[in-house]
Structure 1
Amino acid sequence: MSESDSLYAQIGGQEAVEAVVDDFYDKVLDDPLLQPYFEDTDMQALFAHQVQFVSAVAGGPVDYKGDDMRSAHEGMGITDEAFDQVAEYLAAAMRENGVPEDDIETVIAEVDALRDDVVGV
């Protein structure tokens, strides 16, 4: 698949991904269940990593340069409930930004494949 045929291009490229990530973090940081996971976090750096991650998952011209998922989440005590809530907020942010349901399902499946590297490590 060429970059122009990628999900990244279909949803609107970097500008669209940034809008999704912005809406996503509005939801996450407003949730009392999730707020504690983000205390003492450099949100500007995390935003940039999340844009890279979503772009890479969607086939964009970006290689994710953050820590591997296990290292990035080690010691955080993330629960399945928190993981599921984050995935729901990501799906909701994509819906609000006009991403088609099939594409949302593709991205969420990629996210869910990382569950074992994020939950309880």
Structure 2
Amino acid sequence: MFGLFKKNPETELEKTVFDKLGGAPAIDLAVDIFYRKVLVDDRIAHFFDTVDMENQHKKQKAFLTMAFGGPNHYTGKDMREAHKGMNLTEEHFGAVAEALVGTLQELNVPQEDIGSVVEIAASVKDDVLNR
């Protein structure tokens, strides 16, 4: 899905990360793969033991779409509120980041675009860790 079309350097600068990744179908696929990775990672899987994963997928797809510059249909909590009281650590954040990068690599996303995604993820780190 990712990288199927040849990039046009003239229009590439105008595209959002959402567009560069392939829009809604690409985000949907990435979120599905991402949670498969998260749910088998012993460092973080337990956080999702009582979570309605169908709903979680929907919220994550809406959040990432918005965060990556796509249409904003996210109605969930902000990152600080959503992760409040979870006692998340650097290790937990790192595990999620690894799953995200691994997902993008599996989907053959160009390294430059992975870098953009990592930059966006890092921008909410303090909120996720409630610092």
Do the structures match in fold with TM over 0.5? Answer: yes
Deviation string, structure 1 residues 48-79 (Cα, Å, up to 9, x no partner) = 11111211122112342210111100111111
Aligned: 1:60 with 2:70: yes
Q: Is the 8 A contact 1:16 1:97 kept in 2?
A: no
**Offset at residue 22 of structure 1 (A):** 0.7
Paired amino acid for 2:23: G
**Offset at residue 16 of structure 1 (A):** 0.6
**1:50 aligned to 35, 56, 60, which one?**
60
1:86-105 equivalence runs, <5 A: 86-105=96-115
Identity of aligned residues (%): 37
More helix by share: 1
**Offset at residue 33 of structure 1 (A):** 1.1
- Structure 1 match to 2:116: 106
**Offset at residue 120 of structure 1 (A):** 5.0
- Structure 2 match to 1:9: 19
- Backbone CA RMSD of aligned residues: 1.8
Paired amino acid for 1:82: H
TM-score, length of structure 1 as denominator length = 0.89
**Offset at residue 31 of structure 1 (A):** 0.8
Structure 2: stretches of 5+ with no match in the other structure = 1-10
Between the aligned partners of 1:7 and 1:88, the Cα distance in structure 2 is 19
Structure 1: stretches of 5+ with no match in the other structure = none
Paired amino acid for 2:35: Y
TM-score, length of structure 2 as denominator length = 0.83
Paired amino acid for 2:118: I
Q: Is the 8 A contact 2:20 2:113 kept in 1?
A: no
Q: Is the 8 A contact 1:28 1:89 kept in 2?
A: yes
Deviation string, structure 1 residues 17-65 (Cα, Å, up to 9, x no partner) = 1111111000000011111111111111111111112111221123422
**2:32 aligned to 17, 22, 43, which one?**
22
Aligned positions, number: 119
